[in-house]
Structure 1
Amino acid sequence: MNQLNLIGRIVREIEVKEVGEAKVVLNNTIAIKRKFKHDQGQQADFIPIVAWGQIAKLIQSYCEKGDLIGVTGYIQSRTYQNKEEETVFVVEMVVTEIDFLQGRKNTSTISNDEAEQITVY
């Protein structure tokens, strides 16, 4: 089973990128507060997230940096070559559902299937 549910705050400004014909992606990070203080003083974990299509557009429309959101999805790992031609290994969460816990509008949980029926302006 590969399922993950997180509640945290959006770390960076929301930016959706077009990656091909009619495809959009959002890359950001969620800060998840710890219940205890780490030895180095870190009180949060920072989890990279990826959202595609309508989920990415919904996050862009309803959220901003610092907003509290709940996300459901799965973990994926991948590698790529950076500018220095080094192989970079990435572990990230792919978002398939989102709960808007704080933002411009309150909405319920929205999945990819439901999001396809929503027009985002």
Structure 2
Amino acid sequence: MNNVSLVGRLTKDVDLRYTTKKMRAVGAFTLAVDRDPRKVTKDKTADFIPVVTWGKTAEFASKYFSKGHRIALQGSIHTRVWEDDEKNRHYVTEVVADRVFFADAKQREFDEPEIEDLEEEAL
């Protein structure tokens, strides 16, 4: 069974591209995932996981997620091999996300007033 669930923050905006043949959307980003979020220490350790999304999921991620957003995803681990011009083989391990979610509550559209502002209004 190959199932992955991750929660983390985007290290940069989603890179959205389209395949040349079928014009299918492909989104790529890196997710910074804390190794043990239960431990509160000054030396946090994170893993930086490469993620790929396809189709409507890629378009959704590109439209609504940006650098620093905390997201959750579900998918699977995929490996692939490719060869460069010099015939060197490169191995890539990445998460292919089938589903992506907002992991934080939506931010308010207005700023809450400062305590000093409330005191001035009361006078």
Q: Which band: TM-score by shorter chain?
A: 0.7 to 0.9
The equivalent position to 2:100 in structure 1, one of 93, 98, 101, is 98
* 2:57 alignment partner AA: I
| RMSD, aligned α-carbons | 2.2
- Give unpaired runs (5+ residues) of structure 1: 106-121
Return the offset for 1:34: 2.0
Alpha-carbon distance change, 33 to 99 in structure 1, aligned in 2, over 3 angstroms: same
In terms of mean alpha carbon deviation, does 90-99 or 14-23 score higher? 14-23
- In the alignment, which residue of structure 2 is the partner of 1:8? 8
1:29 alignment partner in structure 2: 30
| Structure 1 residues 79 and 6: CA distance shift in structure 2, 3 A | same
1:71 maps to what in 2?
A: 73
Equivalent residue number for residue 114 of structure 1 = none
Structure 2 stretches of 5 or more lacking a match?
108-123
Number of aligned residue pairs: 102
Contact 2:34–2:44 (CA<8 Å) still a contact in 1?
Answer: no
Structure 1 residue 103 displacement after superposition: 8.3
Distance 2:15 2:29 in 1: 8
Contact 2:13 2:65 in 1 (8 A): no
Does the 8 A contact of 1:62 with 1:103 survive in 2? no
Change in 2 beyond 3 A, CA 1:103/1:67: farther
Q: Greater CA deviation, 77-86 or 89-98?
A: 77-86
Q: What is the aligned partner in structure 2 of residue 19 from structure 1? A: 19
1:116 counterpart residue number: none
What is the Cα deviation at residue 83 of structure 1?
A: 4.4
Q: 2:96 is matched by which residue type in structure 1?
A: V
**Amino acid across the alignment from 2:3:** Q
**Normalised TM-score (structure 1):** 0.75
TM-score by length of structure 2 reads 0.74
Given that 2:16 and 2:59 are in contact with CA atoms closer than 8 Å, whether structure 1 keeps it comes out as yes
